[in-house]
């Protein structure tokens, strides 16, 4: 795409544009619409974006619209865009959680080509993972454009059914918060065992990073890797026994089920 407008230049959009710059994928004509003056200044200084405080004709002439406002701000944003005049077909990419394509289409019009993405916060360091969904008849160059853009901030995968994005939201969208919660709990437990805060932080973070990398690189399954460090009657077995008694797997399954259900509920609420 030669020209691209970001509607919303907050956390997620900023992670994406920084990744696009790192990957040398900034579009030749970049525009930002955002009421936040600091965001506009940053995008102008760092990425050479032309910026607008409000929706206007010019940013709506871009080949691609990247919709990155909060879900509750999306309806009024779409009304402002749709109110300008009948827009010819654009590639519309939304990262908003819980806003279904049918809803976006009803707000912006049926002429556009729509893609939904669900990224996550490690996108800030280029280590995110994004699930993408589009109607099966969407042209392959639109798919390729969205995938290339999201690949600037991490790995990508396509899902075949839009409601799979509720599961994606529960797993990887909200997932970083679960990992941060586990890190917090392990650091607190490490300090309760007498380690100082600095050592606890280093030990816990390196354990998470190292174990994740090992699981990603190894030919063994996570269960096999777990068994490798668990000798009968040893320390790891003692800790894992507590996890089993407390039904760790059941708790995680219930938490993710609730998150996915909440994602579907929120999608029904947005209007
Ligand atoms: N952050 C994440 O981890 C994450 C993960 C996956 C998906 N997402 C999705 O990404 C989207 C953005 O999230 P975020 O965390 O980046 O939010 P954010 O930091 O609040 O950014 C949204 C930006 O859009 C601006 N804005 C509000 N109304 C606007 C309008 N009518 N036109 C143009 N800009 C407008 C906001 O300005 P004001 O602050 O002045 O309102 C703000 O600067 C959400 O829909 C969210 O579901 C986020």
175-267 CATH choice from 3.40.50.300, 3.40.50.720, 1.10.3730.10, 2.160.10.10: 1.10.3730.10
Q: Please report the atom of ligand 1 found closest to the CA of residue 97.
A: 47
- Give me the mean pLDDT over the 124-132 stretch: 97
Backbone φ, ψ for residue 141 (5° rounding): -70, -30
Question: Ligand 1 mean position to 14 CA, how many Å?
Answer: 10
**CB-ligand 1 contact for 142 (6 Å cutoff):** no
Where exactly does CATH 3.40.50.720 map onto the chain? Answer: 3-168
Question: Ligand 1 mean position to 73 CA, how many Å?
Answer: 8
**How does the average pLDDT of the chain come out, rounded?**
95
Question: Ligand 1 mean position to 225 CA, how many Å?
Answer: 39
**CB-ligand 1 contact for 270 (6 Å cutoff):** no
Q: What's the pLDDT tens digit per position in 218-244?
A: 999 999 999 999 999 999 999 999 999
Question: Ligand 1 mean position to 215 CA, how many Å?
Answer: 33
SS (H, E, C) the chain: CCEEEEECCCHHHHHHHHHHHHCCCCCCEEEEECCCHHHHHHHHHHHCCEEECCCCCHHHHCCEEEECCCHHHHHHHHHHHHCCCCCCCCEEEECCCCCCHHHHHHHHCCCCEEEEEECCHHHHHCCEEEEEEECCCCCHHHHHHHHHHHHCCEEEEECCCCCHHHHHHHHHHCHHHHHHHHHHHHHHHHHHCCCCHHHHHHHHHHHHHHHHHHHHHCCCCHHHHHHHCCCCCCHHHHHHHHHHHCCHHHHHHHHHHHHHHHHHHHHHHCC
Q: State residue 267's pLDDT score.
A: 79
Q: What's the pLDDT tens digit per position in 21-50?
A: 999 999 999 999 999 999 999 999 999 999
pLDDT at residue 258 is higher than 80: yes
Q: Are 67 and 95 in contact (CB under 8 A)?
A: yes
Give residue 198's Cα distance to chain centre.
30
Percent of the chain with pLDDT over 70: 99
The preferred substitution site among 6, 8, 127, 175 for testing ligand 1, maximizing ligand atoms within 8 Å of CB, is 8
- Give me the mean pLDDT over the 62-67 stretch: 96
Selected residue with higher pLDDT from 78 and 269: 78
pLDDT at residue 53 is higher than 80: yes
Report the CATH superfamily, name and number, of domain 3-168.
NAD(P)-binding Rossmann-like Domain (3.40.50.720)
Where exactly does CATH 1.10.3730.10 map onto the chain? Answer: 175-267
pLDDT at residue 271 is higher than 70: no
Question: How far is it, in rounded angstroms, from Cα 68 to Cα 214?
Answer: 34
pTM of the model: 0.92
Question: How far is it, in rounded angstroms, from Cα 258 to Cα 253?
Answer: 9
Q: State residue 268's pLDDT score.
A: 78
**CB-ligand 1 contact for 173 (6 Å cutoff):** yes
Question: How far is it, in rounded angstroms, from Cα 180 to Cα 12?
Answer: 18
pLDDT at residue 270 is higher than 90: no
């Amino acid at each position: 795409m030669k020209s691209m407008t970001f509607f919303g230049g907050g956390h997620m959009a900023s992670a994406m544009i920084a990744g696009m710059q790192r990957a040398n994928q900034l579009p030749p004509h970049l525009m930002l619409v955002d009421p936040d003056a600091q965001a506009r200044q940053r995008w102008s200084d760092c990425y050479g974006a032309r910026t607008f405080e409000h929706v206007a004709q010019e940013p709506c002439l871009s080949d691609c619209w990247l919709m990155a406002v909060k879900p509750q701000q999306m309806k009024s944003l779409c009304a402002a865009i749709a109110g300008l005049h009948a827009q010819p077909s654009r590639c519309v990419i939304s990262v908003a959680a819980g806003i279904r394509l049918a809803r976006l289409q009803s707000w912006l019009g049926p002429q556009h080509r729509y893609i939904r993405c669900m990224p996550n916060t490690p996108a800030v360091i280029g280590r995110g993972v994004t699930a993408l969904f589009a109607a099966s008849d969407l042209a392959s160059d639109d798919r390729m454009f969205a995938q290339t853009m999201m690949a600037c901030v991490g790995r990508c995968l396509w899902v075949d059914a839009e409601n799979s994005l509720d599961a994606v939201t529960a797993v990887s969208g909200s997932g970083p918060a679960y990992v941060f919660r586990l890190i917090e709990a392990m650091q607190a437990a490490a300090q309760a065992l007498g380690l100082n805060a600095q050592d606890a932080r280093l030990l816990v973070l390196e354990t998470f990073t190292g174990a994740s990398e090992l699981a990603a690189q190894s030919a063994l399954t996570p269960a096999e890797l777990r068994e490798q460090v668990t000798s009968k009657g040893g320390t790891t077995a003692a800790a894992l026994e507590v996890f089993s008694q407390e039904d760790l797997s059941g708790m995680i399954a219930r938490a993710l089920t609730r998150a996915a259900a909440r994602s579907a509920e929120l999608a029904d609420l947005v209007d």
